[in-house]
Amino acid sequence: MTKIRTAVVGAGKMGSIHARVYSRLTGCELVGIVDIQRDRADRLAAQYNCKAFTDCESLFGKVDAVTISAPTIHHLGLAKAFIENNVAVMIEKPLAANIEQGREIVALAKKHNIIAAVGHSERCNPVVQAMKRLNIEPKFIEAHRISPYPFRSTDIGVVMDVMIHDIDIILSLAAGAIKKIDAVGVNVIGDHEDICNARIVFDNGCIANVTASRLALKTERKVRLFSRQAYLSLDYLKKEGIVIKADPNVDVVEWIKEHQQAGDFDFSEVNWPDLLHIEQLDIEDTEPLRLEQEAFLKAVAEKYAKPEVTAEEGLAAMQCAEKILAAAKKHKWD
């Protein structure tokens, strides 16, 4: 089987992680590292036994797919160059610097029939993958993503920086069109919002309540889902979750009703969790970035395969984030 020739554009922290994962995948060959700072490209290329470049043109004709982990302002220019030279691209989130540029990337990929993926790696979190396998239809989603101040990404607010992870997951789960958004955001330290809460209403009746903060005293990444089939409580950090399904708990409801009607039972002595049929979510602990890259490479190699997050989905997450920011600006405090 012919290996897919890959490269990483951007030798920073994320670029080094992508390079490491590519170097360990049997289905691809890491050809090179591109960075405008030659010394950074050289160091990373030496680490993974590939070539260093300072420009993208040097890779044309030598690679089949690239991961773009350069600063967001360069995403469009880099994606355009590779797509027009028949190279598949996986672009680190967010897809582009703004909606217009995101639309242009999507249009370019469609025009040239080239795979374009977005690196929303949280979609590949083992907890999200396990939740996906349950195939439930949520009616309410509550997500919290909070942490102490990270001292990075100060040029953007918490919505585009971290809430966008949950936005992408929520859009994939809700599977409906956005009907209404209410939001409130506060900038405490810088010029952009540091805390934001949004309530998203979908046309299929699903409602999502999502909170992001970079001013918390602890780190927490949790999501809860309500559906007719089950209730889920999941922890992205601990990579664990529980499922309380409706059907196995029907007998519990009948037992409660019977004793309520008889009036002969002291419910204060009951330990509620002991009555419920609670399942631990079956989670396969696979590195998210590895799963993301494997899906991307499979989409490049196989005609009908899709990357985990397509450029269209990455654009949809950006559009939702922009709507949240617009709603937050309209919110009146007085």
**Which residue in this structure is represented by tokens 């559009």?**
319
Q: What's the token pair of residue 110?
A: 């469609």
**Which residue in this structure is represented by tokens 């540091």?**
194
Q: What's the token pair of residue 76?
A: 């469009």
For residue 33, give every residue at least 6 positions away whose Cβ sits within 8 Å of its Cβ, in sequence order, or none: 7, 8, 11, 15, 19, 41, 44, 45, 48, 50, 51, 52, 53
Q: What's the token pair of residue 62?
A: 């030598």
Q: Domains of the chain (ranges plus CATH)? A: 4-114 (3.40.50.720), 124-287+319-330 (3.30.360.10)
Per-residue b/e over 249-273, b at no fewer than 16 CB within 10 Å? beeeeeeeeeeeeeeeeeeeeeeee
Q: What sign has the CA pseudo-torsion 235, 236, 238, 239?
A: positive
Per-residue b/e over 66-78, b at no fewer than 16 CB within 10 Å? bbbbbebeebbeb
Closest CA relative to residue 128, chosen from 148, 145, 112: 145
CA end-to-end span of the chain: 65
Q: 312 to each of 40, 170, 305, how far by Cα in Å?
A: 32, 15, 15
- Alpha-carbon dihedral of residues 36, 39, 41, 46, nearest 10 degrees? 170
Strand-pair partners of 51: 32
Per-residue pLDDT of the chain (334 residues; tens, 9 = 90+): 589 999 999 999 999 999 999 999 988 999 999 999 999 999 999 999 999 999 999 999 999 999 999 998 999 999 999 999 999 999 999 999 999 999 999 999 999 999 999 999 899 999 999 888 888 899 999 999 999 988 776 678 899 989 999 999 999 999 899 999 999 999 888 788 999 999 999 999 999 999 999 999 999 999 999 998 889 999 999 999 999 877 776 677 777 788 788 777 777 777 877 777 788 888 888 889 999 999 999 999 998 899 999 999 999 999 999 999 999 999 876 6
Closest CA relative to residue 79, chosen from 42, 117, 45: 117
The pTM score is: 0.89
- What pLDDT digit, counting tens, does each position of 118-165 carry? 999 899 999 999 888 888 899 999 999 999 988 776 678 899 989 999
